[in-house]
Amino acid sequence: MDHARPIKRQVSADPYGLAMPELSRFFGIIVRMQFDDHLPPHFHAVYGEYEAQVAIDGPRVMHGSLPPRALGLTMEWTAIHVDELLADWELASTGKPLRRIAPLR
């Protein structure tokens, strides 16, 4: 699987109808980033009925929550992929297609 391929902008939406392309998926955790979102740079991690907004630089949970195991995996993945996440944030801020990021294995 090529994780560097662009993600199309017309993708599934969050409950509020906003486009949120999927960047990665691992261990039941779905990582999405919204186009033209507010600062600080962050992504949305969804695990079942849980969702958290995670600041990339840090990382830290800004809003929401995840169960402890899912949170730990998400933070580990974030630490590994900080540069890629920040690059996708820059793309998203200008409305350009995002790139997929390798899942945690």
Query: What string of DSSP letters covers 3-22?
Result: TTSEEPSS--B-TTS-B--E
pLDDT reading at 4 higher than 90: no
pLDDT in the model for residue 19? 64
Describe the chain by its helix, strand, coil percentages, rounded to 5. 25, 30, 45
Give the model confidence (pLDDT) of 25-76 as tens digits. 999 999 999 998 899 999 999 999 999 999 999 899 999 999 999 999 999 9
* Mean pLDDT (whole number) for 82-101: 96
Of the pLDDT bands very low, low, confident and very high (cuts 50, 70, 90), residue 6 is: very low
pTM value is 0.82
pLDDT in the model for residue 36? 84
- Length of the chain counted residue by residue: 105
